[in-house]
């Protein structure tokens, strides 16, 4: 059984094996998962995660059952529990990719499932482990290393499951420095900071984006998530605070990169896309290779 629920379950060796497989599968098509079926069950919107898992499965010769908007279109509307839905899909599929609005839903699904569950994001304080794996793979491909780097998470750190997942992953590497750049209302939650302290990872909280942009090897920009910040006044106040403009991007060190899990709204200006530091669209391709590797490891 190979559930993927949180990034703490990975170690350096398993990550390097996964990335080596992603290197092999990048741009490749094969039939190794012929006859296998993947179910993608999404209770929240998605473009990249759902399509990339589906594309990855098809590129490996497998088939896909998909349900978007499961909150409305599944038997959830009739009162069926998540556990019963998962038990049912176990009969139809060999693995399930699940996105859900409740923190802890992926673990609940795994406890009820006889087939692997892949967490594609659970709640506003949960995780998005495959996003963090592809973020780390992007860092490896672009910087050539994961040790000895300064990573700055910018913007929405409180309600952003992929920043939580990547912070946990980075704790496995040596000589890591993390800057958390945000307004006080959106600071990284204490559970992640406590974990980093336990693992002796150097981190600092700051509101000074300019200085961090000059120093960091990786700028991880995030979206101010309207779906999690219900107070309209607070949302309007926070959303324009940390925009990466071309002028700011031009202050970055040679070789430093800007990544973003996407979707972007206006937190990275469109003219940054042409900057040599911008790799957030390339990151989508790295994600496809990583998700092919995940599926091959789990189902192959
Ligand atoms: N990065 C990410 O999870 O994107 P989607 O919401 O489009 O899947």
Asked about 48 being catalytic, the answer comes back as: yes
| Cis amide linkage into residue 263, ω under 30° from 0 | yes
Query: Which of 126, 131, 165, 285, when mutated, tests ligand 1's pocket best, judged by the most ligand atoms within 8 Å of its CB?
Result: 131
Tell me the pLDDT of the chain averaged across its residues.
96
49 as an active site residue: the answer is yes
**Burial, 67: exposed, middle or buried (Cβ in 10 Å; 0-12, 13-18, 19+)?**
middle
pLDDT: is 124 or 133 the higher one?
133
* Gap between the Cα atoms of 81 and 32, Å rounded: 34
Residue 55 CA to ligand 1 centre (angstroms): 14
Query: At residue 1, does pLDDT exceed 70?
Result: no
Cα–ligand 1 centroid distance for 162 (angstroms): 10
Per-residue pLDDT reduced to its tens digit, 178-225? 999 999 999 999 999 999 999 999 999 999 999 999 999 999 999 998
**Ligand 1 atom closest to residue 261's alpha carbon, by position in its atom list:** 1
Per the annotation, the verdict on 130 as an active-site residue is no
Q: What is the mean pLDDT of residues 37-62?
A: 98
Catalytic residue among 128, 239, 241, 296: 128
Q: Is the pLDDT of residue 73 over 80?
A: yes
Q: How far apart are CA 113 and CA 108, in angstroms?
A: 9
Ligand 1: residues with CB < 6 A are: 46-49, 131, 261-263
Please pick, among 49, 85, 163, 222, the residue that the annotation labels catalytic.
Answer: 49
Report whether 296 contacts 33 (CB < 8 A).
yes
Average pLDDT over residues 74-83: 95
Out of 99, 158, 172, 296, which one is annotated catalytic? 99
Confidence of residue 269 (pLDDT cuts 50, 70, 90): very high
Domains, the chain, ranges and CATH?
7-128+285-299 (3.40.50.1370), 130-284 (3.40.50.1370)
Atom 1 (ligand 1) nearest CA: 261
13, 78, 91, 230: the active-site residue:
78
Q: Is this prediction's pTM over 0.85?
A: yes
Structure confidence by residue, pLDDT tens digits, 223-265: 998 888 878 888 888 888 999 999 999 999 999 999 999 999 9
Which pLDDT band holds residue 152 (cuts at 50, 70, 90)? very high
Own/partner long-range contacts of 102-108 (Cβ < 8 Å, ≥24 apart): 102/126, 105/43, 106/3, 106/5, 107/5, 108/82, 108/83
pLDDT in tens, 79-95: 999 999 999 999 999 99
How far is Cα 166 from Cα 177, in angstroms, rounded to an integer?
Answer: 13
Token representation of residue 155: 């913007």
Active site residue 128: yes
CA atoms within 13 A on the CB side of 298: 26
Mean pLDDT across the stretch 43-47? 97
More confident residue, 143 or 233: 143
């Amino acid at each position: 059984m190979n559930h993927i629920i949180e990034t703490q379950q990975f170690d350096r060796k398993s990550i390097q094996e996964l990335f080596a497989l992603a290197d092999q599968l990048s741009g490749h098509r094969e039939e190794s998962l012929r006859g296998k079926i993947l179910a993608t069950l999404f209770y929240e919107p998605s473009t990249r995660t759902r399509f990339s898992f589906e594309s990855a499965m098809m590129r490996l010769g497998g088939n896909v059952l998909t349900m978007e908007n499961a909150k409305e279109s599944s038997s959830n509307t009739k009162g069926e529990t998540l556990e019963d839905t998962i038990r049912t899909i176990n009969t139809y599929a060999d693995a399930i990719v699940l996105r859900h609005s409740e923190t802890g839903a992926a673990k609940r699904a795994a406890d009820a499932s006889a087939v692997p569950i892949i967490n594609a994001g659970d709640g506003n304080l949960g995780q998005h482990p495959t996003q963090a794996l592809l973020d780390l793979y992007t860092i490896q491909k672009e910087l050539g290393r994961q040790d000895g780097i300064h990573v700055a998470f910018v913007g929405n750190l409180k309600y952003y499951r992929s920043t939580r997942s990547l912070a946990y992953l980075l704790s496995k590497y040596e000589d890591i420095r993390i800057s958390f750049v945000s307004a006080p209302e959106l600071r990284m939650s204490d559970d992640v900071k406590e974990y980093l302290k336990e693992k002796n990872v150097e981190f600092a909280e700051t509101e000074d984006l300019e200085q961090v942009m000059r120093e960091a090897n990786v700028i991880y920009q995030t979206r101010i998530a309207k779906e999690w910040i219900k107070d309209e006044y607070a949302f309007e106040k926070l959303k324009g605070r940390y925009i990466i403009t071309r002028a700011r991007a031009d202050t970055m060190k040679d070789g430093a990169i800007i990544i973003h899990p996407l979707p972007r709204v206006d937190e990275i200006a469109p003219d940054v896309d042409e900057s040599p530091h911008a790799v957030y669209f390339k990151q989508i391709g790295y994600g496809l290779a990583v998700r092919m590797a995940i599926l091959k490891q789990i189902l192959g």
